[in-house]
Structure 1
Amino acid sequence: MRFMIDLHSHLLPGLDDGSPDLQTSLAMAKMAVEDGTRLMACTPHRTPGLYDTTADQIRSSVSAFRTELDKAGIPLTICGGSDIHICPELPELLAAEPEYRLAKSDYFLFEPPHQFLPPRLIELVEKVRAAGFRPILTHPERLRWVRRHYDVFEGLIRAGCLVQVTAGSLEGRFGSEAKELAWRMLDEGRIDIIASDAHNLTSRPPRLSAAAALIADAAGEAEQWRMTVERPASILRNEALEPVGMSSVEQVKMQQTPTRSRAPQRLWERLLR
């Protein structure tokens, strides 16, 4: 594996419950590079009333951290974005503040509540899509309500949500229930990308390689490549993607592709031009 792209991390220091300081952020970046990641989206929480992260904070923090990475000689390319909690004004917020979107593309990380299914969630996704934005549903395997409301999860895919599963869930880092759901989603062909959702150096580290190896064994190297490089690259280039689960909501087993996709050499250095 030459390199990977991680579109969900809490790497920026002091903005949320992720990295608390610059020293930790640099150590996390170094760990990610050693694990094979070469491009990482820094996506602090935007949760009204808890983490009121502003677009200006994201912009300035990404710029400052990019300078620190260069000074430390850590070969990690970064871009901005946010892990956005749902809110009624979401379409307007995304239109007004491109910094909340991944590398200012039309794509953004879409986080529903963990403990309960909010009303009219699919309707909110439809409104966001009608406004021209592309939601990526973050870690549905860790949302406590998904097991009981799997039909809503499938409805979110039909409404246009891409699906991002946390790498650590496939390894069992978030418990047996999240692991079981993650593997169900993989077996059914629901997962578009994996990401680390890194918060620290220990319990939630910025590592993808172990999960990528599990995916390669279960679904083939071609699909692993698509989840860790090809689709994330397309997202950052703002290319139109349909959720992989859109055409396979009733499919039980993923079809394995024998040939491997190729990415341009040093792709991560050209994506953000």
Structure 2
Amino acid sequence: MIFFKKKEIPLIDFFPEGFVDIHSHLLPGIDDGAKNLNDSIELITKMRSYGIKNFITTPHVLGNVYPNSSETIKNKLEEVKKELLKRNINDISIRAAAEYMMDEQFSERLEKEDILTLKDNYILVEMSYFNAPINLYELLFEIQLKGYKPVLAHPERYNFYHNDYENYYKLKKHGCLFQLNLLSLTEQYGKGVQQISKKLLKENIYDFVGTDTHHHNHLALLNKVGTKKNLEKINHLLDNNKKFI
């Protein structure tokens, strides 16, 4: 019996020209992503070898765990930009937004309009992996009332929705855009997450994609995503990300 390997595509050919990674943790030492400046540059350089040259990196803003201010994020971004130029890496475009946990502190930031957007009025938001906020739909309403568009990071990773699937439709109905984590197409986060991501893809519920890169292990695993079958499934999403250029 002959076994055929999945038709693999080098990532340099997988990501289209103009693709923007809208979810990553590449700023040094401010969350659970890049540990220091050298780590930041190494991660960016590796992603550049995959053909990703446009980044909107999104450090966590999470209560007292990662209480990053807009100023802290902007300062770290400048450090990275200067180091890239110092190393003669001139073909990278990197900006910074944030991945906002929808909690009480986020509500306060929203009230003050102290928000770093992906571009224009798009905000990257997330929820706890244990449960949704009690006031989730009020928060989504407030976000849109302020003129922003909520982009929910990795909806497939919220396990509490896996057996309550109708909530995905409800979130979409309430104006939520969905961002797929590319590694959810692998078993990185578990088979359950992988299956839900496939189902959401099949139903064309996603709007954008992101790598959600934290460290080199994520980038090594990203190679598994580079198959012809996956490209056929998400090619339209990769193109959608170009709007953030």
- TM-score bracket for the superposition, by shorter chain length: 0.7 to 0.9
SS in 1 for 2:199: helix
Q: Among residues 135, 158, 177, which one is paired with 1:120 in the alignment? A: 135
SS in 2 for 1:8: coil
Residues 10-25 of structure 1 mapped to structure 2, 5 A cutoff? 10-25=25-40
Residue-pair matches, total: 228
Maintained 8 Å contact 2:98/2:124:
yes
SS in 1 for 2:160: coil
Equivalent position of 1:82 in the other structure: 98
Maintained 8 Å contact 1:28/1:206:
no
Shift of 1:153: 2.1
Residues 1-273 of structure 1 mapped to structure 2, 5 A cutoff? 1=13, 2-3=16-17, 4-74=19-89, 75-88=91-104, 90=106, 93-94=109-110, 96-98=113-115, 100-103=116-119, 105-203=120-218, 207=222, 210=225, 213-217=228-232, 219=233, 224=235, 226-229=236-239, 231-234=240-243, 236=244, 271=245
Maintained 8 Å contact 2:186/2:224:
no
SS in 2 for 1:84: strand
Residues 205/157 of structure 1: CA separation in 2 closer, same or farther (3 Å cut): farther
Residues 90/213 of structure 1: CA separation in 2 closer, same or farther (3 Å cut): farther
Shift of 1:109: 0.7
Look up the equivalent residue of 1:8 and give its one-letter code. H
Shift of 1:23: 1.3
Maintained 8 Å contact 2:103/2:133:
no
The RMSD of aligned alpha carbons is 2.1
Residues 6/214 of structure 1: CA separation in 2 closer, same or farther (3 Å cut): farther
Maintained 8 Å contact 2:183/2:221:
no
Higher relative contact order (CA 8 A, sep 6+): 2
Shift of 1:167: 0.3
Maintained 8 Å contact 2:26/2:33:
yes
Deviates more, 1:137-146 or 1:5-14: 137-146
Shift of 1:204: 5.7
Q: Which runs of 5+ in 1 are unaligned?
A: 237-270
Shift of 1:216: 2.5
Maintained 8 Å contact 2:153/2:180:
yes
Maintained 8 Å contact 2:57/2:97:
yes
SS in 1 for 2:217: coil
1:78 and 1:90 map into 2 onto residues whose CA distance is: 24
Shift of 1:189: 0.6
Residues 19/153 of structure 1: CA separation in 2 closer, same or farther (3 Å cut): same
SS in 2 for 1:102: coil
Residues 63/114 of structure 1: CA separation in 2 closer, same or farther (3 Å cut): same
Look up the equivalent residue of 2:45 and give its one-letter code. K
Kindly, what percent of the aligned residue pairs are identical? 24
SS in 1 for 2:195: helix
Residues 92/132 of structure 1: CA separation in 2 closer, same or farther (3 Å cut): farther
TM-score, length of structure 1 as denominator length: 0.77
